[in-house]
Amino acid sequence: MAIEHLKSGKPEQQRAEDDAKVRATVETVLKDIETRGDAAIRELSAKFDKYDPPAFRLTPSEIEAAMQKVSTRDMDDIRFAQTQIRRFAEAQRASMVDIEVETLPGVILGHRNIPVQSVGCYVPGGKFPMVASAHMSVLTASVAGVPRIAASAPPVNGAPHPAIVAAMHLGGAHEIYVLGGMQAVGAMALGTETIEPVHMLVGPGNAFVAEAKRQLYGRVGIDLFAGPTETMVIADDTVDAELCATDLLGQAEHGYNSPACLITNSRNLAEATLAQIDRLLAILPTRETAETSWRDYGDIYLCDSYDEMLSLANDLAYEHVQVMTDRDDWFLENMHSYGALFLGPRTNVANGDKVIGTNHTLPTKKAGRYTGGLWVGKFLKTHSYQRVTTDEAAALIGEYGSRLCMLEGFVGHAEQCNVRVRRYGGINVPYGAAAPYREAAE
C-alpha cells in the first residue's frame, strides 16, 4: 500500500501564505535599516523588545557585570559545553589542510584555507534564551580564526541575558550587541553609523530572521537557511511511544511553527505515540507553544517497509533526524539529505542542541539536500593559487592554453598564453593565432 498519512498539519498553501507575509515584512524592515541606520534599529528595538539603551554594544564593564550574575554552577555548565564543542571544532579544523602539489615539472598548484574576516553571529532569545547558540556560532568562528566576531542577542526582560553574554564572551566574541531579530541581522549585514558591517551572517532564528538572512544573501555570506526548527523521528517497534512523543514535543516547543514528524512502519507505535503526545501535552509547561506547533505542523507517516521510510525521510530532508530502529547504521549509511542524525535511543536532539559537541545550527526547509550544517569549515574560504617555475613549463602550458582559448574564440585570452610561449619557449606564434603543435613546430 502507499504511505499512510495518519496525522497532518497545515496545508502547504497556508504555509506558503504565512511565508509570503513574513517575506514582505522583512523586505520593508531591511530597506528601513539601510536608509535610516541607527534610528531605524532603535525604533525597531523599542517596538519589538521594549529596549532603548544609550548604546546597543556592551562595554567591557557591562559584560563583566552581566557575567557576575551567572551562578558558579551555570558557568561551569557553560564551560563544559564549550569544551565539548571546541574539541570537535578543533578536530574538524585539523581535517582541513592547505595543499601544494607539483602537477607537472615546474607547475605548482595549491590552495589555502583562509578565515572570513568578519562574522555576525545571531543568538535567538525570544521565548527561550538560546545560550547554546553562542557556543555554536561564536566559539566555532573563533576556532576557525575569524579576526572580528560580532555577536548579537535580544534583551530578556529589558536587559542583556547574563548567560548569553557569558557564553558569547567565553566563546571569543570581540563585539557584543543587545539587539534582536530582523534589526540585529539587518544592522550587522548592512551596517549603521555605529555598527560596522560584517562579511558573513550565521546563526539560527525565527522565520523573520531566516528570511532576513535569505534576502541579505549575496550582499553578505550566510551559513545556511536555518529557520524554525524541524524534528523527525524514524522509529520501529524496538522503541516505545513515550520516547517518540517526548522527542517530538521536545522540539515542537521551540515555536508555533516548528515541524515535527514521526515516520514508522508500526501502526501500534504510531497510534500509541498520538496518545502519549496528548498525555504529555497535559503536563508540559510549554504546552501552549508545543500544542500549537504539533497541531499545525505535526505529521505521522505509516510506511510498509524500511526502504519506504528511508525514501520518505530523504525526500522531506528534515533538520534533526532521530533514528531509533533495529538498523540505525543502515540509515546512517543510506540517508543523504538531513541536518544532523541522532542514532539510537540513548542520544537525542537536545544533546546536540546544547552540549554533546556537534553544531546545532542546521539546514531547514529541505536545505539539507544541498548543504550540511554550520561547522568550522563554513568560516573558512578555500582559495587556490598557481605558480610556474620554469621556462619549459611556461611554454608547454602556454601552448595548450593558446589552442584551447582559440577553440572558444577568445583571442585576447590566447595572447596571454602566446606572449609567454614566445618569451619562454622561443616559438614565434603569429599574433592572434593558436600556438602550433609540438611536432609541427619541430
Binding residues: 122, 183, 206, 229, 251, 254, 320, 353, 408, 413
Write the single-letter amino acid at 114.
I
Long-range contacts of 340-346 (CB under 8 A, 24+ apart): 340/373, 345/239, 345/243
SS3 content of the chain, % helix, strand, coil (to 5): 50, 15, 35
The grid cell for 72 is 558558579
Q: Which residues are annotated as a binding site for substrate?
A: 229, 251, 254, 320, 353, 408, 413
Question: How many Å apart are CA 304 and CA 297, to the nearest integer?
Answer: 23
Question: How many Å apart are CA 91 and CA 95, to the nearest integer?
Answer: 7
Active site residue 319: yes
**Length of the chain measured in residues:** 442
Task: State the catalytic residue, choosing from 135, 161, 169, 320.
Answer: 320
Alpha helices for 253-327 (secondary structure H)? 267-281, 287-297, 306-316
| Residue 67 CB contacts under 8 Å (≥ 6 apart), including other chains | 75, 162, 165, 166, 169
Active site residue 174: no
Question: How many Å apart are CA 423 and CA 391, to the nearest integer?
Answer: 9
Task: State the catalytic residue, choosing from 319, 360, 399, 415.
Answer: 319
- Give the DSSP letter of residue 365: T
Question: How many Å apart are CA 381 and CA 365, to the nearest integer?
Answer: 25
Place of cell 524554525: 228
CB burial string 29-68: b at 16+ within 10 A, e below: bbebbeeebeebbbebbeeebebebeebebeeebbeebbe
- For the beta carbon of residue 188, count every other beta carbon within 10 angstroms: 29
Helix, strand or coil for residue 421? Answer: helix
Question: H/E element holding 91?
Answer: helix 72-95
Q: What are the residue numbers of the active site?
A: 319-320
